[in-house]
Amino acid sequence: MRRPGLHRWDVSQAEAVEMQKRLRAQLDLHSEPERIETVAGIDVSYDKGSDWLFAVIVVMRLPELQVIESASTTALVPFPYVPGLLSFRECPAVLQAWEKLQLQPDCLMCDGQGIAHPRRLGIASHLGLWLDLPSIGCAKSLLVGSYQEPGEKRGSFTPLIHRKEQVGVVLRTKDRVAPVFVSQGHKISLNQAREIVLACCTKYRLPEPTRQAHLLVNEVRRGAGIKEKTARQLTLLP
């Protein structure tokens, strides 16, 4: 499912920062989609010691959280590691995987940030804009902001504040387990983003779409490593 692009990806770090500042003005943080029946979990993994990365999308149907489609891709890392510019490093591979999907999901969920980002344009916001879809960032760790610890019960949450602005919530998805950091990406309200994340959490801390994407991307990465090792061994055979 190819979509027209917002910009080119072969940019300098300075150009990337300026793009983020421009694109954040296009975000819709107030819409509340009436129908969210399918959620696409997105995750990316890197091959240590090489320039390869792996991107996976797993589409699940709500409320039963059944996997209905998945896609993956392997690509060369196109952009250096720069804090705050992760989307320029990972989005091109995610979009390659996206083109392999047969179904268009109703919502994207990224293992990363939405507007809880220094320039309010994390990977969830960037992908939401690019694909023109509701998107949510659900991160395992804090990038920016401060918060008070939420209550110990599942569903408890507190505001995530950065520069006197609420950029997300800190959400307890399982009793007495470390919370996750939820922020809007695009075309969704914060309340709805929080509700969807919680609806996607079962017996684990992480929501199933991104948890399943994480499991699959690691399988893809390990499989690629096995193939490379086998190829090297074959070249050594007499």
Q: What is the pLDDT of residue 3?
A: 55
| 29/190 Cα distance (integer angstroms) | 8
User: What are the tens digits of pLDDT across the range 193-218?
Assistant: 999 999 999 999 999 999 999 999 99
Q: Which residues of 79-117 are buried (b: 16+ CB within 10 A; e: fewer)?
A: beeeebbbbbbbbbbbbebbeeeeeebbbbbbbbbbbbb
Q: Answer yes or no: is pLDDT of 192 > 80.
A: yes
Burial class (CB in 10 A: 0-12, 13-18, 19+), 148: exposed
Average pLDDT, whole number, for the chain? 92
H or E stretch including 159? strand 157-162
The verdict on residue 119 lying in a domain is yes
The verdict on residue 137 lying in a domain is yes
The verdict on residue 50 lying in a domain is yes
Q: Answer yes or no: is pLDDT of 233 > 50.
A: no
Tokens 């989609």 sit on residue? 33
Q: Answer yes or no: is pLDDT of 94 > 50.
A: yes
Q: Which pTM does this prediction carry?
A: 0.91
The verdict on residue 8 lying in a domain is no
Q: Answer yes or no: is pLDDT of 219 > 70.
A: yes
| 143/181 Cα distance (integer angstroms) | 9
User: Taking a C-beta distance cutoff of 8 angstroms, is the pair 209, 109 a contact?
Assistant: yes
Q: What is the pLDDT of residue 225?
A: 56
Q: How many domains does the chain have?
A: 1
Positive or negative, the CA dihedral 64, 28, 211, 200 is negative
Q: Answer yes or no: is pLDDT of 237 > 70.
A: no
Residue scoring higher pLDDT (115 or 3):
115
User: What are the tens digits of pLDDT across the range 15-59?
Assistant: 999 999 999 999 999 999 999 999 999 999 998 888 999 999 999
Distance of CA 201 to the CA centre of its chain: 16
User: Taking a C-beta distance cutoff of 8 angstroms, is the pair 59, 39 a contact?
Assistant: yes
The verdict on residue 236 lying in a domain is no
Q: Answer yes or no: is pLDDT of 120 > 90.
A: yes
Q: Give me the domain span that covers residue 118.
A: 13-230
